[in-house]
Structure 1
Amino acid sequence: MALTDEAIDKIKAMIVTGELAPGSRLPKEEVLAEQLGLSRSSLREAVRALTAMRILITRQGDGTYVSSLEPHLLLESLSFAADVSQGQTALQLLQVRRLLEPQATGLAAALLQPDDLTELRHLLDQCRSAATVEEFVAHDIAFHLRIVEAVGNPVLSMLLSVLSTRTQRVRIMRGSRTSHALENAHRDHEEILRALEARDTLLAVSTATTHISAVEQWLAAGLDDNSLGSIDD
């Protein structure tokens, strides 16, 4: 194991055991290096790496602290990875979304209130009237996220928003036959909303699965003809 990796593991262990609690300040560099049996250079590299992961935060002139460790903070790096994902990696992220989001949609069917359903209808109307792909995607994301939020699990909401980011969705839509893809998406959205209005859990799961599977198919087709390499053009 590289010395930096060893240093990272030792600091993580202190956090996991509670020796370093969220929001607590790390001991001075020389003290912590001696405590962990590390060189100061290895410790510095570990701190840089953990800061990039948002596990640690550095306050100029004040020292280094353990972050709040809230899921949304720790998942930010994954969000960037999803934004820049290409090819099979993007497809794999969508496959994970397909495993999670339909079940969340099914749960939401029993939890959404009348005001929530009214808001979802408004979001679909905005999807229909969108003048650009970017505008459509913004309302599309809001629609799906609003459904998942009804489950009341912020970790699930954050994870699903990360798995299919705005940038990724715009790229996929541009890489597909856009008008055809948009019309299919509108149809799928209407079927999802009807299932939610009927409080039909199984139908909500089924319609959400069909919708996300279609997105996978658009992406897979693009991989087959190598069109996704230029979808941002």
Structure 2
Amino acid sequence: MAVTDEAILKIKAMIRSGELRPGDRLPPEKELSEALGLSRSSLREAVKALEVIRVLDVRRGDGTYVTSLTPDILLDAMSFVVDIHQDSSVLELFEVRRILEPAAATLAAPRATAADIEHLHDLLAQAHSTTSVDDLVAHDQVFHRYIAELAGNAYLTSLLETLSSSTLRARIWRGLSEEGAVERTLTEHRAIIEALARGDATLAAAHATVHINGVAEWLRQAMG
């Protein structure tokens, strides 16, 4: 187990036992690292990860606090971070998406009508107006589902829908933790739409490959 994951699990145990409650301030870094038997650097990495998903609130010059979320939500969020770092099967799922998403774009390119392109642009405009990572990931699901449906192959659509659902949490984590991930996703979606509008199957497949590969590479680095 990675030392950061171990630190997260130990903080999680403190919340589960009631030693730390919503709104509580964490002990000073030196004291907490010694109590948990961890290095201060490992503790800092764990705190950074838990701050990103809003389990902890780091107040500069004041201290680090457990947020006001309920204990159940806090514990579920912390399990999610550890799962993402440890579950290598998620990376394998992205590798399969990297094969199938370009195939769907290739099939969709000659079939996409002007109305289809307009609908995809509408989806993109809706995504630009959102400030929530959850909403952006929901847009991502709808966007890819629509292209899969344009491919005209029910089996391919079903496979991609399953893969999309299985990689949902990793995409949310990327949106929360990687700077610029939201704008990058929307820019890549726009490139795919433009290729489909031109009816260029090769270009659409290339942009789809770049899009999925970006998430896979981020995940590979996040898993160390």
CA distance 1:90–1:181, change in 2 (3 Å) = same
Superposition misfits of 4+ residues, deviation over 6 angstroms: none
> Identity over the aligned pairs, expressed in percent?
36
Task: Check the 8 A contact 1:137/1:170 in 2, yes or no.
Answer: no
What is the TM-score when the length of structure 2 is the normalising length?
0.59
Question: Could you give the per-residue CA deviations for residues 71-102 of structure 1, whole angstroms, max 9, x where no partner exists?
Answer: xxxxxxxxxxxxx8853100001101111110
SS in 1 for 2:122: helix
8 Å CA contact 1:95–1:216 kept in 2: the answer is: yes
Residue type at the aligned position of 1:171 = A
Inter-partner Cα distance in structure 2 for 1:94 and 1:190: 21
Equivalent in the alignment of 1:127: 127
CA contact (8 A) 2:137 2:171 kept: no
Corresponding residue SS for 2:194: helix
Aligned to 2:180: 180
| Alignment pair present for 1:113 and 2:113 | yes
Assess if the C-alpha contact under 8 Å between 1:148 and 1:157 holds in 2: yes
Give the match for residue 162 of structure 1: 162
Whose Rg is larger? 1
Aligned residue in 2 for 1:92: 92
Please give the per-residue CA displacement for 1:80-132, whole angstroms capped at 9, x wherever unaligned: xxxx8853100001101111110110110100111111110111111111221
For structure 2, the residue ranges without an aligned partner over 5 or more in a row are 1-82
Query: How many Å apart are 1:179 and its aligned residue?
Result: 4.0
Aligned length: 140
Asked if 1:221 corresponds to 2:197, the answer is no
Higher relative contact order (CA 8 A, sep 6+): 2
Q: Which residue of 1 aligns with 2:212?
A: 212
Q: C-alpha distance in 1, partners of 2:170/2:99? A: 22
User: What CA RMSD, in Å, does the superposition of the two structures yield over aligned residues?
Assistant: 1.8
Residue 24 (structure 1) aligns with: none
Q: TM-score, normalised by structure 1?
A: 0.56
